[in-house]
């Protein structure tokens, strides 16, 4: 199964930049989207259906033009879970899960900590999602949690490791992500590429992408139960529909 995760920074904007043609050519079985910034009613979903994704699910934020996640799939899942049931995070549309017979896939958009108020919100979300996923993996052991985690884990994951006072690379955030992995997940990219430095997000400022001054914020975290089935994990840096680029993981069925 080929799974892609992509923070599109506005799905309508991405479509206008050629996202659908790219999707056809890349041809994943499932694609998880974050920061869709749209309601389903605002989209022409037939363009995704015509691209081969008959099954598509959208979980938008209550605030229009903000946050939101989606999953497009070629095959019908046996169950779709909208949100987590935790009110403090679900109003921003940050979690959506599809369950298949042998694997479940979540699209997750972890908040950024752009100011003190949002940093507190981020830390609260981190605590609550960790508890939620710890319970979930007891029921669903084969889980892939894809998405924008808004955290660089190690120094290799950021172009300037001296940025220790900036949200996304705070010691507390990095420690949480390490504990998240230790709770039963594998960072599929780092598992296969222990020393490679690649990024998945670049600021729009200061020509950051052209100068490759980026951050690796996007992850396909795979349950340890699937460790032997991780076939490939790559960052698709050539895709330019967003300030992020997509990541891909292939899991043997």
- C-alpha to C-alpha distances, 4 to 89, 112, 137, 161, 173, nearest whole angstrom: 23, 21, 21, 27, 24
What does the DSSP 8-state code read for residue 112?
P
Nearest Cα to 193, choosing from 249, 149, 127, 144?
Answer: 249
Q: Which pLDDT belongs to residue 253?
A: 80
The angle formed by the CA atoms of residues 105, 108 and 112, to the nearest 5 degrees, is 165
pLDDT tens, the chain, 253 aa long: 999 999 999 999 999 999 999 999 999 999 999 999 999 999 999 999 999 999 999 999 999 999 999 999 999 999 999 999 999 999 999 999 999 999 999 999 999 998 889 999 999 999 999 999 999 999 999 999 999 999 999 999 999 999 999 999 999 999 999 999 999 999 999 999 999 999 999 999 999 999 999 999 999 999 999 999 999 999 999 999 999 999 999 999 8
Q: Which residues have a catalytic role annotated? A: 148
Q: Which pLDDT belongs to residue 215?
A: 98
Q: Which pLDDT belongs to residue 114?
A: 87
User: What is the reported pTM?
Assistant: 0.98
3.90.600.10, 3.40.190.80, 3.60.10.10, 3.40.109.10: CATH of 2-251: 3.60.10.10
Q: Which pLDDT belongs to residue 70?
A: 98
The token pair at 203 is 């600021």
Q: Which pLDDT belongs to residue 116?
A: 87
80 Ramachandran zone, left/alpha/beta (phi>0; psi -120 to 50): beta
**H helix intervals, the chain:** 11-16, 19-26, 46-50, 87-90, 116-139, 171-182, 188-192
Q: Which pLDDT belongs to residue 66?
A: 96
* Alpha carbons 158 and 147: distance in angstroms, whole number: 17
Q: What residues does each domain of the chain span?
A: 2-251
């Amino acid at each position: 199964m080929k799974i892609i995760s992509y923070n599109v920074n506005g799905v309508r904007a991405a479509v206008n930049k050629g996202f659908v043609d790219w999707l056809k050519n890349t041809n994943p079985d499932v694609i998880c989207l974050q920061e869709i910034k749209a309601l389903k009613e605002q989209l022409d979903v037939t363009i995704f259906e015509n691209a081969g994704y008959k099954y598509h699910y959208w979980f938008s934020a209550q605030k229009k033009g903000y946050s939101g996640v989606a999953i497009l799939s070629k095959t019908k899942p046996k169950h779709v879970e909208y949100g987590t049931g935790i009110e403090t995070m679900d109003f921003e549309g940050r979690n959506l899960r599809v369950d298949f017979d042998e694997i479940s896939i979540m699209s997750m958009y972890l908040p950024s900590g752009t100011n003190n108020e949002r940093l507190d919100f981020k830390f609260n979300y981190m605590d609550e999602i960790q508890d939620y996923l710890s319970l979930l993996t007891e029921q669903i052991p084969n889980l892939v949690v894809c998405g924008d985690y808004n955290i660089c884990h190690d120094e290799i994951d950021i172009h300037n490791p001296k940025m220790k006072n900036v949200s996304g690379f705070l010691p507390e955030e990095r420690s949480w992500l390490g504990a998240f992995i230790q709770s039963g997940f594998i960072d599929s990219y780092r598992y296969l590429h222990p020393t490679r430095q690649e990024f998945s997000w670049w600021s729009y400022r200061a020509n950051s992408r052209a100068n490759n001054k980026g951050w690796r914020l996007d992850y396909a975290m795979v349950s340890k139960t699937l460790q032997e089935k991780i076939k490939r994990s790559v960052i698709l840096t050539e895709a330019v529909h967003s300030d992020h680029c997509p990541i891909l993981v292939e899991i043997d069925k």
